[in-house]
């Protein structure tokens, strides 16, 4: 078990007021000539805090909407013009998250070839997201929603999201795991509030006005923050080698970890999508469904930060095991046996915490690979690991609809109250997602 003794629980508060200089241990490009004394410090200080706050809020606005899609799932399946064509509705949400995760495979090589692109392209991402939602507000069939609320929204979100991930590597060196955890906590924080907001708008104004209001909301709140979402290092101070640092792709350790990410992602998104319809199936109100999604996302706020801190202290497979045990147990025991609200509430909190924190293990994968291959490009690693999560997200939509076809969808009795196949699938993927822990014990992971 690897422990990094210089990381303490007071990491977050120590960002401000510290005069420790960046030692450049992970960024030797910080050292040359005249840039050394003009750079803002890494890991602490006003500029690092402003970057992290801006990243947190933008992450919340970009990802909070698709992570709250369960509210739309329940609305679209019970209101015209979509209730008569329910097939494919789940694919809207999983398409959005899937594309945003996979876009890094294209964006990071582009950032490598054109160093200024990440900092300039971010300005068009938010308008594209807003345009996608406005276009979706005119939709009359599910395919139009997939194209606009799914694909176009995701393209815009990717253009904003991936530069932020890239710049984290410059702003935070010793506290990288914690920084990624705080950034990713934005999704959970937004998911604690947005479901109630969307549910109120949907019940009052319908989906068309709701989408237009949200498009304006993200435009107004996000655009001013993009200024602070900037790189720490000037382009001239960074060595942009034509090499992409892809040696990690030859590592069995990396691929075993990546396999766990893909499998875990096949089931990860399903509770947040189906909890509102599951609650309605039990006779609970749409507001209750929004509450369950909010609790799930809210628990993930604390999980991503805490597990990000654990990544700075322990081997990544240890954190994966913790996430796996908690997520698997909550699915099979709590969700599977839920027939009323109290157990569903406990499930939402537990699953949100243990499964929601799994995303922080991406930082641990990067840390592990960089330990034995310093030339590995962080951007490319983020692109590949995120793409693995995206593959799982995209596939989970049609897989979940296939699982829920037939009589099992209609029954209210038995394990899982008619959702048994979906629940078992979610639990199995959560369990298999922890395979890397056993790979470490067998010596397959360094």
The CATH number linked to 227 is: 1.20.1250.20
Spatial distance between the Cα atoms of 202 and 198, rounded to a whole number of angstroms? 6
Establish if 328 belongs to a structural domain: yes
**Quick check: is 224 in a domain?**
yes
Q: Which residues form the domain of 196?
A: 43-231+245-441
Taking the chain, what is the end-to-end CA distance rounded to the nearest angstrom?
11
Distance of CA 350 to the CA centre of its chain: 17
Measure Cα distances from 401 to 94, 278, 397, 430 in Å: 12, 14, 6, 19
Question: How confident is the model at residue 3, as a pLDDT?
Answer: 36
The pLDDT assigned to 88 comes to: 86
Q: Which two tokens stand for residue 423?
A: 């629940």
- The token pair at 390 is 């995206």
> Would residue 267 count as lying in a domain?
yes
- Report yes or no: 351 and 325 within 8 Å, Cβ to Cβ: no
Q: 31 lies in a domain?
A: no
Dihedrals φ, ψ of 318, to 5°?
-65, -40
Give strand ranges (E) for 78-230. none
Find tokens 């899937």 and name the residue: 98
Residue 123 covered by a domain = yes
90-120 burial: b if 16+ Cβ within 10 Å, else e? bbbbbbbbbbbbbbbeebbeebbeeeeebbe
Total domain count for the chain?
Answer: 1
Does residue 15 lie within any of the structural domains? no
Residue 191 φ/ψ, nearest 5 degrees:
-65, -15
Q: How many helices (H) and strands (E) does the chain have?
A: 18, 0
Residue pLDDT tens, the chain, 446 long: 433 333 333 343 343 344 333 434 444 444 444 444 478 887 778 888 899 999 999 999 999 899 889 899 989 989 989 988 767 898 999 999 999 989 988 898 888 888 889 889 999 999 999 999 999 999 999 999 999 999 999 999 999 988 888 888 888 887 777 888 888 888 878 888 899 999 999 999 999 999 999 999 999 999 999 999 888 887 655 555 556 688 889 989 999 999 999 999 999 989 988 999 999 989 999 889 989 988 998 898 888 889 888 988 899 999 999 999 999 999 999 999 998 999 999 999 999 999 988 988 888 898 898 888 888 887 788 889 889 998 988 898 889 888 887 555 555 557 888 888 999 999 999 999 999 999 988 888 87
Per this entry, what is the length of the chain?
A: 446
Give the span between the Cα atoms of 207 and 210, in whole angstroms.
Answer: 5
* Cis geometry, peptide bond prior to residue 81 (ω within 30 degrees of 0): yes
Give the integer Cα–Cα distance in Å for 406 and 315.
44
Give pLDDT, residue 381: 87
pLDDT score recorded for residue 188: 79
Residue 37 lies in a domain: no
**CA angle 324–164–381, rounded 5-degree value:** 55
- How much is the CA Rg of the chain, to the nearest whole Å? 21
pLDDT number for residue 410: 55
Residue 38, in any domain of the structure: no
The per-residue pLDDT for 169 is 80
């Amino acid at each position: 078990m690897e422990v990094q003794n210089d990381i303490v629980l007071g990491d977050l508060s120590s960002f401000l007021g510290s005069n420790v200089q960046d030692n450049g241990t992970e960024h030797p490009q910080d050292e040359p000539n005249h840039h050394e004394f003009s750079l803002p410090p890494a890991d602490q200080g006003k500029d690092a805090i402003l970057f992290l706050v801006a990243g947190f809020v933008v992450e919340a606005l970009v990802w909070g909407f698709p992570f709250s899609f369960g509210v739309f799932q329940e609305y679209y399946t019970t209101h015209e013009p979509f209730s008569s064509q329910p097939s494919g509705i789940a694919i809207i949400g999983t398409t959005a998250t899937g594309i945003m995760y996979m876009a890094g495979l294209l964006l990071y090589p582009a950032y490598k070839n054109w160093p200024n692109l990440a900092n300039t392209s971010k300005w068009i991402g938010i308008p594209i997201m807003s345009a996608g939602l406005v276009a979706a507000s005119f939709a009359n069939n599910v395919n139009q929603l997939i194209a606009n609320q799914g694909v176009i929204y995701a393209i815009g979100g990717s253009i904003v999201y991936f530069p932020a991930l890239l710049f984290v590597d410059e702003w935070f060196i010793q506290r990288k795991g914690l920084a990624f955890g705080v950034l990713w906590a934005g999704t959970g924080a937004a998911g604690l509030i947005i479901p109630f907001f969307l549910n109120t708008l949907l019940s009052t104004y319908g989906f068309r006005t709701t989408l237009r209001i949200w498009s304006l909301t993200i435009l107004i709140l996000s655009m001013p923050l993009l200024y602070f979402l900037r790189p720490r290092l000037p382009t001239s101070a960074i060595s942009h080698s034509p090499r992409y640092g892809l040696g990690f792709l030859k590592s069995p350790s990396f691929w075993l970890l990546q396999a766990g990410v893909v499998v875990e992602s096949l089931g990860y998104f399903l509770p947040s999508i189906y909890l509102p319809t599951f609650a309605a199936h039990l006779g609970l109100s749409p507001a209750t469904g929004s509450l369950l999604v909010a609790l799930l996302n809210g628990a993930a706020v604390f999980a991503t930060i805490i597990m990000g801190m654990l990544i700075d202290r322990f081997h990544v497979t240890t954190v994966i095991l913790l996430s796996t045990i908690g997520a698997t147990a909550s699915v099979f025991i709590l969700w599977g046996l839920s027939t009323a609200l109290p157990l569903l509430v406990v499930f939402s909190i537990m699953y949100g915490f243990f499964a929601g924190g799994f995303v922080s293990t991406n930082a641990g994968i990067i840390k592990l690979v960089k330990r034995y291959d310093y030339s590995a490009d962080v951007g490319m690693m983020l692109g590949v690991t995120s793409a693995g999560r995206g593959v799982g997200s995209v596939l989970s939509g049609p897989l979940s609809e296939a699982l829920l076809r037939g009589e099992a969808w209609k029954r209210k009795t038995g394990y899982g109250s008619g959702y048994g196949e979906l629940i078992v699938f979610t639990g199995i993927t959560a369990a298999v997602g922890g395979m890397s822990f056993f790979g470490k014990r067998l010596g397959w992971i360094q």
